[in-house]
Each structure stands twice: as structure tokens, then as C-alpha cells.
Chains A and B, each alone.
Chain A
Amino acid sequence: MSKKTKLTASIGDQTLRLLTLLMAISVLVLMFWMGWQMFQSAGPSIDKFGFGFITGRVWDPVKEQFGALPFIYGTLMTSLLALLIATPIGLGVAIFLNEMAVTKVRMVVAFLVEMLAAIPSVVYGLWGIFILAPWLRETIQPALAKWFGFLPLFQGTPLGFGMLAGGLILAIMILPTIAAISGEVMAAVPNEQREAALALGATKWEMIRIAVLPYAKSGILGGIMLGLGRALGETMAVTMLIGNRPDILPSLFAPAYSMAAVIANEFTEATYDLYLSALVEIGLILFGITLILNVFARLLVWSVARGPKGGIS
């Protein structure tokens, strides 16, 4: 008795299967290949500077001295500033869209928020140079200095260009990410949860606080991490606004430099191998950080989307 449970398939069927399999595997290979390619190119710099590359404060290509700390500092400061601004606003948008707006308003506003994400980074940079930076220099920074000047964060000459400008533009750019992912996980909260809260006599806000936010918490955290990932690697707008000076200064008014920006600016000017290698190593660090952030973020978002609802994949 034959008990073949396997399907025999024709040559055409095998060909399509193999072709799609090949393409699927190529995506996997692409990821590893990119990491390997960077790791190799960064080799000379890794060998020469070791861990000191991350803690080194001096970046002087002329003297072949490469320390990435100023770039790491600038990247972290602008990204954290961006998170600080974009998280509450993005959450507000997500709550408005998911819990308050009627369908028509939601469709329009959701589309506008998507547009915010669709505007190319270089256009934000252009707008930042000619509109945002002058406005910061003439209006916002003097006001901040006047009221909060006792804090080291708001001291120094108002230049417009600097970490404040970079952080603000990043906030605008990651806001749609945070809003979209938070909205997604809020939408995954079962309606019974909301109704249970409402049936207990909760106001809308109490319902959101009791039934929606706790349930969506880890997913929202995931959204924030994805936003952070985007901020850390964002290149053009930051390059155009951060001031591009490898200093580590406490004031948000001060010019700084980000990891992506130094790569964008100096990569084609890297005249010798070690210089290029050092720039690639900065890219490798960026790659590693964003990879880890993404893994955690996806896990968090998945855990909510699958969550107690089950069965949804």
C-alpha cells in the first residue's frame, strides 16, 4: 500500500518554488553579507584602536587620530531630545486617532500623519536650514536662554544650527513612527476591555488609562524604540542642521556632530584606508545599535499584537 503524504509536483511547480525560496534566502544572505562587508572594511580601524575608538574624544584625520565619542554623543543627545518631544505628542495623536476621532476625521488625519512620514529627509533638511534654524536663532533660543539660562543646557550663543535644531527636526520625523505603531497596538486592544471599563462608569480618559494604555504598554514601548532607531540613523536632515562640529558640549545650542552625519560628510573625502575604515566602523556601530533596537522593538510589538487575543498572525 502506498501512503504517500507528500505531493508530487511537476517541474514547473518545482521551479517556482525554488525561485521563490532562492529570493527568500537572498534576503537572509543580504543581511549577513551587509554586516560582514562592514565588519571587514572596518577591520583596520578595529585592529588599530580597539575599544578606544568608542571612548576617544579626538577626531583628527590629519593626525590619523580617530575617536568616535563626539559623534556618539551628538547622536544620542539629538535622538533623546527627539524622543522627549515626539513621544508625548505621538501618543496623543495615536489616542486621538484610535479613541476619539470619528471615521472621516481619522482617515484624513491618519493620511496627513502618513504624509509627515513620507516627506523626504532632505526636504526637512532644506526647510530646517532656511526656516527652522533662523527661527530658533532669533526667537526660541533667546527666549530659552532668558528663562532657563541658569541650566547649562540653554547657555551659549544662539546659532540656530546645533543639537536643538537637530533634535527638533528628528522629533518631527519620528513622530509618525511612534504614532503609527502606538495606534496599531491600541487598535489591537479588544473592545471588550474598553466596554468593561465604560460599564464600570469610567470616563473616556479613565477608560484609556485603565483599559487601553496598560494593555498596549509594551507595544507602545516598542514603537518608541523603533522611533529611536529611526532617529539614530537619520542622516540628511541632521547633517544639514546639527552644525557638524565634533565637540562634546553640554548646551543644546552648541553645534555637534552625529554618527550618520560624519559618514555623509567625510566618506567621499576619506583619502586613506584607515580614515575610510574608521568611518565604516562608525557605520558598523550604528548598524549594531539599530539592529538590537529593532529586535527588541519588534518583539515588544509582536507580544502585544499576538497577545491574549491569540490566533492573529
Chain B
Amino acid sequence: MGHSLSVRNLEAWYGSNKTLKGINMEIAPNQVTAIIGPSGCGKSTFVRCINRMHETLPGTKVKGEILLDEESIYDRDPVALRKMVGMVFQKANPFPSMSIYENVVAGLRLNGMKNKQTLHASAEKSLRMAALWDEVKDRLNYSGMSLSGGQQQRLCIARALAVEPSVLLMDEPASALDPIATTHIEELIRQLKENYTILIVTHNMQQAARIADSTAFFLNGELVEHGPTSEIFTNPNDKRTEDYITGRFG
């Protein structure tokens, strides 16, 4: 089951550049929340704060609070936290030295899981959830790099799912894919929300409208507006949101 997230007054810096200026946001469990906004608005930084990936870059700083299921993520070990909060990146990044199978179970195996049956079961389950099983079940030992771009991205989703997180962060997961692969991924996201809390960053507003239950609009490091997707797209409260979704800037 997905967990809820509660973000309180989150500020983040990259070098001397303040990329998040006090974000307050409640993210409901088992929903798809889309983050939209022009490039450089801080939406990527925002999701990267949630699994504490932002801090891994040199020269970065974070202030504020994020609660995952009522508990501060800063009280958790970042490595353990990331098992609960999975992430899928903009560009598919399978491990080049590993096969398809090894990629899927990498999170489990490299964290010490040795039981082969468990690993096999998890690999099949995750690949099925990622709607990739039928396409790769006969060549699990091939390199992950041998797959097409869309398949690689679904492999990365399967890899994230195998760890059994409760929250899934997706940073523009379909932006490097062709339309058909994008449809696949969107279909997948709709199915996954039954079990996961999903946060998806996207620059594609149609995509947000298609898949998200709620949508948040970021601008210049601030959260301008957050509400049910239908409301944001048809009847935004803020003038800036309206300007953005009607294509007047960005």
C-alpha cells in the first residue's frame, strides 16, 4: 500500500542557487500526483528531495521537513529510505554490466537477498507489473542494454518495483520515448497507483491531464497551485497557472 507524503516548508539549494523556496504540499496515498511547470522551476529538485537524492550531489543543501507516513525522512537512514521511495529517471539507466534479470533483482540482490526462488518470483512479478514480462521472458540473460528505449524504461520501472517501495517517483519517465512507448508507460502508471503513491514530473500537460489524480504547478521554485487535476486544467485559481496551461509562457 502507498504511503502519504507531507512536505513542510521545504527549501533546497544547488550551490548558491535556491531552487526550492518553501514548498508546502500534501500528497495523498494511492494516487498519481503530477508535478508540472516550465523547465528550471524546481520540479525535478522537488522529487529528488523526497528520496534524498538531491543531497548526494556536491554543493547542495536542504531545509525543511518531509514526512513519509507521519515520520520524518530525515530521521531515516537515506539508504533505507530509498527502498521505500523508488525512483524512475528521465533517461532509462539500466546497469550496463548486468543482464535483464540481474537488473530487475539488482536492488534485492545487492542488498543481500540470496534466496534464488524469492529472487525469481520477484523478478517475474516486477516484470509483469511493468508489462514487460511477455516481451523478455525468453531472454532474461541478455544484456539490459539490448532492449529498445521504451523497454529499457519499463525495465527500470520493474527494477524500482522489485524493491517493493510504497512511493514511486518518476522524473519525466516518458520524455525520451516515442508515442507508443509513452502510451505503454502511462497505462502502466494508471495500474500501479492501486499499490503505490506515485509522483510524476512531466513537462507534458496532456500527459498530466491523462494520468494524474491531482496536479501541482511549480514556478520559480514555488508551488503555485495544487489541486485535483480536472480543476487545475479547467478552472485554476491562480492567474499564473492559467497562463501556463493555456500556453502563454513556458
B63 touches A8 (CB 8 A): no
A4 touches B77 (CB 8 A): no
Is residue A103 within 8 Å, beta carbon to beta carbon, of the partner chain?
Answer: no
Find chain A residues with CB under 8 A from B63 CB: 3
Closest to B11 in A: A3
Is residue B79 within 8 Å, beta carbon to beta carbon, of the partner chain?
Answer: yes
Number of interchain pairs (Cβ within 8 Å)? 22
In whole angstroms, how far apart are the Cα atoms of A4 and B61 in the complex?
9
B62 touches A5 (CB 8 A): yes
Overall SS of chain A's interface: loop
In whole angstroms, how far apart are the Cα atoms of A10 and B79 in the complex?
9
Q: Give the residue of A1, A2, A5 whose beta carbon is less than 8 angstroms from that of B61.
A: A5
In whole angstroms, how far apart are the Cα atoms of A2 and B72 in the complex?
8
Q: Give the residue of A3, A8, A10 whose beta carbon is less than 8 angstroms from that of B62.
A: A3
Is residue A312 within 8 Å, beta carbon to beta carbon, of the partner chain?
Answer: no
In whole angstroms, how far apart are the Cα atoms of A159 and B149 in the complex?
70
Chain A proximity of B151: nearest CB distance (Å) = 32
B55 touches A7 (CB 8 A): yes
In whole angstroms, how far apart are the Cα atoms of A2 and B63 in the complex?
9
Find chain A residues with CB under 8 A from B79 CB: 10
Q: Give the residue of A1, A2, A8 whose beta carbon is less than 8 angstroms from that of B78.
A: A8
Is residue B65 within 8 Å, beta carbon to beta carbon, of the partner chain?
Answer: yes
Find chain A residues with CB under 8 A from B72 CB: 1-2
Could you tell me how many residues of chain A have their Cβ less than 8 Å away from some Cβ of chain B?
8
Q: Mark A4-21, 1 if CB is under 8 A from B, else 0.
A: 110110100000000000
Is residue B70 within 8 Å, beta carbon to beta carbon, of the partner chain?
Answer: no
In whole angstroms, how far apart are the Cα atoms of A5 and B10 in the complex?
13
Chain A proximity of B236: nearest CB distance (Å) = 32
Q: Mark B60-84, 1 if CB is under 8 A from A, else 0.
A: 1111110000001011011100000
B61 touches A7 (CB 8 A): no
In whole angstroms, how far apart are the Cα atoms of A1 and B66 in the complex?
10
Chain B proximity of A163: nearest CB distance (Å) = 53
B74 touches A4 (CB 8 A): yes
A2 touches B77 (CB 8 A): no
Is residue B56 within 8 Å, beta carbon to beta carbon, of the partner chain?
Answer: yes
Q: Give the residue of B52, B55, B65 whose beta carbon is less than 8 angstroms from that of A1.
A: B65
Closest to A8 in B: B77
Chain B proximity of A92: nearest CB distance (Å) = 39
In whole angstroms, how far apart are the Cα atoms of A8 and B76 in the complex?
9
A2 touches B75 (CB 8 A): yes
A7 touches B56 (CB 8 A): yes
B56 touches A2 (CB 8 A): no
In whole angstroms, how far apart are the Cα atoms of A10 and B56 in the complex?
16
In whole angstroms, how far apart are the Cα atoms of A165 and B64 in the complex?
73
Find chain A residues with CB under 8 A from B60 CB: 5
Chain A proximity of B149: nearest CB distance (Å) = 27
Closest to B75 in A: A2
Chain A proximity of B71: nearest CB distance (Å) = 11
Chain A proximity of B13: nearest CB distance (Å) = 10
Find chain A residues with CB under 8 A from B75 CB: 2
Closest to B74 in A: A2
A7 touches B78 (CB 8 A): yes
In whole angstroms, how far apart are the Cα atoms of A1 and B67 in the complex?
11
In whole angstroms, how far apart are the Cα atoms of A237 and B61 in the complex?
57
7 example contacts (A-B, Cβ-Cβ < 8 A) are as follows A3-B62, A3-B63, A5-B55, A7-B52, A7-B56, A7-B78, A8-B78
Q: Which 4 A-B pairs have the closest CB atoms?
A: A2-B74, A4-B74, A7-B78, A1-B65
